[in-house]
Amino acid sequence: MSQMFPTPAPGSPVTEPAARATGLTKVYGKGETRVTALDSVFVEFARGRFTAVMGPSGSGKSTLMHCMAGLDRVTSGSARIGGTELASLSDKQLTTLRRDKVGFVFQGFNLLPTLTALENITLPLRLAGRKPDPAWLETVVTTVGLAGRLAHRPTELSGGQQQRVAAARALVSRPEIVFADEPTGNLDSRSGAEILGFLGDSVRELGQTVVMVTHDPVAAAHADRVVFLADGQLVDELHEPTADAVLDRMLRFEAQSRTR
Ligand SMILES: Nc1ncnc2c1ncn2[C@@H]1O[C@H](COP(=O)(O)OP(=O)(O)OP(=O)(O)O)[C@@H](O)[C@H]1O
pTM flag (> 0.80)? yes
Tally of CA atoms within 13 A in the half-sphere of 134 that contains its CB = 0
Give all strands of the β-sheet with 35-45 in edge-to-edge order.
35-45, 19-28, 76-81, 84-85
Q: Which residues are registered as beta bridge partners of 106?
A: 181
Which of 59-68, 99-108, 199-208 is modeled with the greatest confidence? 59-68
Alpha-carbon gap, residue 141 to 137, rounded angstroms: 6
Output the 3-class SS for the chain.
CHHHCCCCCCCCCCCCCCEEEEEEEEEECCHHHCEEEEEEEEEEECCCCEEEEECCCCCCHHHHHHHHCCCCCCCEEEEEECCEEHHHCCHHHHHHHHHHHEEEEECCCCCCCCCCHHHHHHHHHHHCCCCCCHHHHHHHHHHCCCHHHCCCCHHHCCHHHHHHHHHHHHHCCCCCEEEEECCCCCCCHHHHHHHHHHHHHHHHCCCCCEEEECCCHHHHCCCCEEEEEECCEEEEEEECCCHHHHHHHHHHHHHHHHHC
Task: Pick 75 or 6 by higher pLDDT.
Answer: 75
Pairing of strands 225-230, 50-54: parallel
The answer to whether the CB of 6 falls within 8 A of the CB of 207 is yes
Which atom of ligand 1 is least distant from the CA of 55? 21
Ligand 1 neighbourhood includes 214 CB (under 6 angstroms): no
ipTM for the assembly = 0.97
Round the CA-based radius of gyration of the chain to a whole number and report it: 18
pLDDT per position as a tens digit, 39-95:
999 999 999 999 999 999 999 999 999 999 999 999 999 999 999 999 999 999 999
Which atom of ligand 1 is least distant from the CA of 64? 18
Alpha-carbon gap, residue 53 to 61, rounded angstroms: 7
Ligand 1 neighbourhood includes 5 CB (under 6 angstroms): no
Ligand 1 neighbourhood includes 200 CB (under 6 angstroms): no
Ligand 1 neighbourhood includes 51 CB (under 6 angstroms): no
Class of domain 49-58+95-259: alpha beta
pLDDT per position as a tens digit, 204-244:
988 999 999 999 999 999 999 999 999 999 999 999 999 99
The answer to whether the CB of 178 falls within 8 A of the CB of 169 is no
Ligand 1 neighbourhood includes 55 CB (under 6 angstroms): yes
User: pLDDT exceeding 70 applies to what percent of the chain?
Assistant: 93
